[in-house]
Chains A and B, each alone.
Chain A
Amino acid sequence: MTVAWILAGAGRIDGDRPVGDRSPGCPEEFIPRNVRRRLSRLILQALQVTWEAADPGIDAPLVFGTANGEIETIATLLPAVLAPDPSVSPTLFHNSVHNAAPGYWAILARRFAASTTVTAGPATFEAALLEAVCRLEDGASQVQVTAGDEAIRAALWADPEHCTRDFCGSLRLASRPPEGGRCLGAIEFLRLGPPEDFPLPEGEEEVRVFDRNDLPGGARHPCGSLHPLLEFLLGPPGARRLRMRRTLASGTMLEAVFRRESGFDD
């Protein structure tokens, strides 16, 4: 049983460090200089990884996951908003919405497919993945899921410790196996239920992820659970399967098992 095939993936830490070694690199001309200077680090990195995992010939729906959204843009706006005679930058204002990155993606890549933005605190990537899989199961042939957050620097009211580095990643999922069979891997299943219903199988030789959001070096990140998945898919061959588990804030557990395709480099 396979619920989705993973056709492509990309990830970046701190803006310029790719995850794995298969990133084609987003060309500079994709984001014109006059647009680039208006963008937050989150939008910029989301655009880059989405481009890197996209197929130029396929207009796939985009599910964007971000826990804090444009928190740095809001922090920049607030002094002007709270001033006695407020004068707000219209560009900063429309860039402050959570769906700014998907909006720019559609404009720059000329994509007309649907997009949405999902946010769920430390389970943001899992919620975005759930949304993407539901869309595949509802008839979409491909769905791209991009998730990320920027390091909190200026937002003094926020808890900066929960997001200390920039990280964005993207996966392109398909509802059917690709022609020729070449893909990064697959999602064998994604299920929800009470934690007690999901005992860990014994004796499985696979990487296991338990409710962790750490990036390399121990930095916490709301979308950090995407990082080991990208390393699993894009890094040197290792374990064949990866099990992701997270207890959501409402109490239910989300569990997904990923399989790496060994024949990708053949």
Chain B
Amino acid sequence: MPGRSGRRSGPGGGGFAGTTPTARNWALPWVSSRGIWIPFPGTWRSFDTRCHRLLAAALVPLGPAVEKWKERVPTHRIGVVVGTSASGNRDLERHLASGAEGPYDYHRRQSFGAVAVVAARLLGVRGPAFTVSTACSSGAQAFLSAAGLIRSGRCDAVVAASVDALCRTTCFGFRSLGVMDPDFCRPFDGDRRGLNLGEGAAAFLLAGHRPTAWEGPDFRLAGWGSCSEAHHMTAPDPEGEGAFRAMTEALSRAGLRPGDVGYVNAHGTATPANDGSESRGIVRALGARVPCSSTKGYTGHLLGAAAGVEAFVTMLALLDEVLPRNLGIEDQDPEVQARILREDEAAPGIRFALSNSFAFGGNDVSLVFEVRR
């Protein structure tokens, strides 16, 4: 583990400014210049899992923005929703494998609800805090729940985060399904053999309005769609019916026509079943000309964190007006009719982009983002 000394160094070493009494009861996380090192001393130690460290690393850069909101509204008006599919499974497995005896703090280390508690206490906010867990669409569902809290008027701002730490259960579980590529994954390639797994976290601050004196661009969650496929627990509908429904609803909510979407960040796991199904759904919902790419060739499939990280990639594409290429593709599957980007592509003036996330249980979510420069 880099930076194991735990010294408070590196570019992120400032911690949060103006912490509340709630947050002062907890240790502040730090990101070292050589990687993630977030000490959990004292009362934090019982929460110290890799999942919570990853989450804290994603929350650190968000701290100053949350502090600004805490100056504007009471802390109980700021909520937290975190998506995860595995929570503390990784540390539980290590605990059991070590043969360690003694009680295991299930509620703080393993319970899925703990990730939202950790996030709320790290940020020093007191609004509603809960976890959503819908496997690989968890991070997208966190956006939906956060938006719901704001639109209902019960929160002024909500942190929507997502996190997953890689564990043996996930690795060997996907292996048992025969969908792991031992080499780098190749989304939408005719010779794709499956996914690569990864771990990570992402966090966003959502608010009902753009604050005055806000500098620079911001993004709007312009629309979202969510549906159940009602087809199979792991296999997608071959015709992409669920993907089509989710994208169509997202467009409708955003008040957009298919041609308004300038980029699709596809779920694109590189499994034979997903990519063909998703391509059919994209072509039906948005046409065959919209530029698409899966960015799982760069990150692997981050499971519960995938939607959050890919939302971030989608926003970067909007901000930079450059669409990322679909890393790993050589010969596009002839069954895939969607326009898959083989190279980075300039997209001057792009305003709307859509990100797909699909999951076990047929839980499909599409998010539409708008950049406002």
Q: Which of B123-162 contact A (CB under 8 A)?
A: 125-135, 141, 144-145, 148-149, 151-152, 154-155
Query: Shortest Cβ distance from B281 into chain A, in angstroms?
Result: 14
Stretch at the interface among A45-53, A73-81, A211-219, A230-238: A73-81
- A177 within 8 Å of B (CB atoms): no
Residue among A69, A93, A114, A194 with most chain B CB within 10 A: A114
Residues of B within 8 A of A131 (CB): 130, 145, 148
Q: Is the CB of A249 within 8 A of B169?
A: no
Residues of A within 8 A of B229 (CB): 106, 112
Q: Is the CB of B228 within 8 A of A250?
A: no
Stretch at the interface among B56-64, B113-121, B196-204, B349-357: B113-121
Q: Is the CB of A99 within 8 A of B152?
A: no
Give bound CA distance, A100 to B135, whole Å: 9
Give bound CA distance, A97 to B134, whole Å: 7
Chain A, residue nearest B365 (CB): A114
Chain B, residue nearest A192 (CB): B154
Give bound CA distance, A127 to B154, whole Å: 13
Give bound CA distance, A125 to B293, whole Å: 38
Describe A's contact surface by its main secondary structure: mixed
Query: Shortest Cβ distance from B58 into chain A, in angstroms?
Result: 18
Q: Which of A218-256 contact B (CB under 8 A)?
A: 248-252, 254
Q: Is the CB of A106 within 8 A of B130?
A: no
Q: Which of A88-138 contact B (CB under 8 A)?
A: 88-90, 93-100, 102-104, 106-107, 109-121, 123-124, 127, 130-131, 133-135, 137-138
Q: Is the CB of A89 within 8 A of B228?
A: no
- B1 within 8 Å of A (CB atoms): no
- A187 within 8 Å of B (CB atoms): no
Query: Shortest Cβ distance from A210 into chain B, in angstroms?
Result: 19
Q: Is the CB of B169 within 8 A of A74?
A: yes
Check A93/B177 contact, CB under 8 A, given A81-B169, A193-B76: yes
Q: Is the CB of A97 within 8 A of B230?
A: no
Residues of B within 8 A of A89 (CB): 176
Q: Is the CB of A250 within 8 A of B172?
A: no
Give bound CA distance, A99 to B359, whole Å: 9
Residues of A within 8 A of B128 (CB): 127, 130, 192, 248, 250, 252, 254
Check A67/B228 contact, CB under 8 A, given A88-B172, A192-B154: no
- B320 within 8 Å of A (CB atoms): no
Residues of A within 8 A of B111 (CB): 67-68, 119, 121
Residue among A62, A98, A248 with most chain B CB within 10 A: A98
Tell me how many residues of B have a C-beta within 8 Å of chain A. Answer: 67
Q: Is the CB of B130 within 8 A of A120?
A: yes
- B271 within 8 Å of A (CB atoms): no
Residues of A within 8 A of B226 (CB): 114, 116
Give bound CA distance, A117 to B141, whole Å: 9
Check A117/B134 contact, CB under 8 A, given A68-B111, A112-B230, A157-B96: yes
Q: Is the CB of B133 within 8 A of A157?
A: no
Q: Is the CB of B112 within 8 A of A69?
A: yes
Residues of B within 8 A of A252 (CB): 76, 126-128
Q: Is the CB of B227 within 8 A of A96?
A: no
Chain B 84-109 per-residue mask, 1 if CB under 8 angstroms from chain A, else 0: 01000100110111000000101100
Count the A-B residue pairs with Cβ separation under 8 angstroms: how many? 224
Query: Shortest Cβ distance from B225 into chain A, in angstroms?
Result: 8
Chain B 231-272 per-residue mask, 1 if CB under 8 angstroms from chain A, else 0: 111100000001001000000000000000000000000000
Q: Is the CB of A121 within 8 A of B361?
A: no
Chain A, residue nearest B129 (CB): A250
Residue among A95, A112, A124, A138 with most chain B CB within 10 A: A112
Residues of B within 8 A of A114 (CB): 226-228
Query: Shortest Cβ distance from B356 into chain A, in angstroms?
Result: 15
Q: Is the CB of A157 within 8 A of B360?
A: no
- A159 within 8 Å of B (CB atoms): yes
- A158 within 8 Å of B (CB atoms): yes
Query: Shortest Cβ distance from B93 into chain A, in angstroms?
Result: 6
Q: Is the CB of B361 within 8 A of A103?
A: yes
Give bound CA distance, A194 to B125, whole Å: 12
Give bound CA distance, A260 to B158, whole Å: 33
Residues of B within 8 A of A127 (CB): 128, 130
Q: Which of A126-153 contact B (CB under 8 A)?
A: 127, 130-131, 133-135, 137-138
Q: Is the CB of B133 within 8 A of A194?
A: no
Give bound CA distance, A155 to B361, whole Å: 24
- Choose one: B113, B141, B149, B363; the contact of A134 (CB below 8 Å): B149
- B46 within 8 Å of A (CB atoms): no
Check A111/B93 contact, CB under 8 A, given A69-B112, A97-B133, A137-B152: no
Residues of A within 8 A of B177 (CB): 90, 93-94
Query: Shortest Cβ distance from B209 into chain A, in angstroms?
Result: 17
Chain B, residue nearest A106 (CB): B228
Q: Is the CB of B106 within 8 A of A158?
A: yes
Check A103/B120 contact, CB under 8 A, given A90-B173, A120-B131, A192-B154: no
Residues of B within 8 A of A158 (CB): 104, 106, 110
- A1 within 8 Å of B (CB atoms): no
**17 pairs across A/B with beta carbons < 8 Å?**
A78-B93, A81-B169, A88-B175, A90-B234, A99-B135, A104-B233, A107-B362, A114-B226, A116-B144, A117-B132, A119-B130, A121-B113, A127-B130, A130-B154, A131-B148, A159-B106, A194-B126
Instruction: Known pairs A78-B93, A99-B359; list 4 more (Cβ under 8 Å).
Output: A77-B173, A112-B229, A119-B133, A120-B130
6 pairs of A and B residues whose beta carbons are closest in the complex: A103-B361, A93-B173, A134-B148, A106-B228, A98-B133, A114-B226
